[in-house]
Structures are given as structure tokens and as C-alpha cells.
Amino acid sequence: MKHKLWIIAGSALALLAVFMLAALPSLSRQKAGKKVTVCILDSGCSDHPGEGESFLGEDDDLTDSIGHGTGICALISQAAPEANVVMLKCFDSRDTVNEEAIVAALRTAVDTYHADVINMSWTIPKESDILYEAVCYAHDRGAILVACTGNLSVSTGLGTVAYPAAWEEVIGVAGVDRNEAGAPKTSLWYLYGEAVDFCARGDWGEDKGSSYAAARVSGLIAQALQSGVKPAEVSDFLASTALDMGETGFDNRFGWGYLETP
């Protein structure tokens, strides 16, 4: 089965977050010395030094022919340098993807790699039963799933609902830009709606897109887990760290607010 795949790419709060992380309890749900594992479902990573495999029948060739996964991997590694980052290559095109590859990767992420966090920096334009079942499978086994909420385009206009971000089991992340002072600002580039739980910077080098915002939040979550936040506390941790933007409290443009990340 194939669906259209939309890869979301193109191109005093920070201190508070640092202090919060520094003050986290020393007791973790994990055994001493065990790293947090982040599995990335993406297009590969040409310079990935860690574990990984391909689900495209390419003998585990992780070469990234479109450059998307390489950026996602770099951002997560930057935000959570102690994490074990695993690249699970599921697609090699910006247009279409074999859905079975993504489903297999989701199951492998939890069954083989025991993923603590799963990053999905892409969207599909409609619901999929087979993909939702795999998302629930990973979620029920303790993985924290993060996905981007999309970018505005001719084919993804206002009101478009992005999956898997829109599912309750997934943390949906929208992108925002920064002004000259480095503060977050709104942009017409990014897609907003019911899928948005939080927002973060949506840039990587010259490219931008909510793909990169999701990666930053996945890295933030991984670092929080490594520091002692328990999985059940992650949503509250993010909400308490986020800078409220737009309407007071939750809104469909910024979710619970902006997350400052590396």
C-alpha cells in the first residue's frame, strides 16, 4: 500500500529549561548507565555512526539520497548527545512511500531497539488503519511518539489534518521562525490545526519545515528522560517548560506553547 508522503522540510526561557533539567530527580526509570534510545523513521543518514537498518530491501544501506533524514539525525544528536540514535530508513523519496516499510519500522523500533522515543518527521494526508495500528502498538509498549504537523502548500492548505501527528498517541509539533532578536514568531509557512500540541524552531541550515521542529522536541524529550523524567511525566514536563504563545493556554496554532531547544 502506498500513500502520498509529505516530508516537512524546506528549510530567559532557555535558562529556565536548563535549570529545570538540572533540577530533575536523580532516580530514573532506567538502569544506571542505560542510554535513552531514539529511533528515527526517515530517509536514512549518510554519516550516521550509530545503529540502523533499512526497510527498503537495500541491504541496510542507510545512504540518504534526499538529505532529509541527515538533518533530523543531526538535530536529535545535538539536543541529546548521550542518546542512542537509531536510523530506520523507510523511504527515499519526497513523494511516495511504501506504508508497510513504516509499519515494519515502528514495530522493529520497539521490539528490537526498545525505543524510548520515536521521531516521525513526515505526514500523510489521510488516516490509515494499518499505520494507526502500528502507532498504537509502539505507544502501548512505552514509546513516546513525536511527529511534525506539516507545512502549508498547494496540496496541504489551511484546515488540512496531518497524520500521524493528529492521533492522540502522538505528540504533534508545529514549526515557528525566529525574529532578529532570536525570539519565536509566527509564520505563514507552517500548517496549524488540531494536530498541534507544541511548537519549536523549524529550521536546519538553509532549510526550514516542521520536520526540524519535531526533531528538536524529540531530542528535548530524550534529554529529559536521560536526566530522570519518567515517560508518564513527559507531557507535563513539556507543558511546564513551554512558553505560551497566541491565545492564553492551548490553541491550534501553537498548542501548549513554544519549546526552547538547542
Mean pLDDT in order along the chain per 10 residues (262 residues): 55 38 40 77 88 87 93 95 96 82 97 98 91 98 96 68 94 91 82 90 91 97 96 95 89 90 80
Q: Does 187 fall in a domain?
A: yes
Q: Among residues 231, 190, 194, 234, which one has the least CA distance to residue 211? A: 190
Q: Does 30 fall in a domain?
A: no
Q: In terms of pTM, does the model score above 0.85?
A: yes
pLDDT value of residue 27: 33
pLDDT value of residue 157: 60
Q: Does 250 fall in a domain?
A: no
**Domain coverage including residue 155:** 2-10+36-241
35: how many CB neighbours lie within 10 A of its CB?
15
Q: Does 70 fall in a domain?
A: yes
If you search the block for the grid coordinates 500523510, which residue do you land on? 124
pLDDT value of residue 1: 52
Phi, psi of 167 (to 5 degrees): -75, 145
Q: Does 20 fall in a domain?
A: no
8 A C-beta contact, residue 117 and residue 39: yes
pLDDT value of residue 18: 39
Q: Does 228 fall in a domain?
A: yes
Q: Does 260 fall in a domain?
A: no
pLDDT value of residue 241: 94
Q: Which CATH number belongs to the domain containing residue 126 in this structure?
A: 3.40.50.200
Domain count, the chain: 1
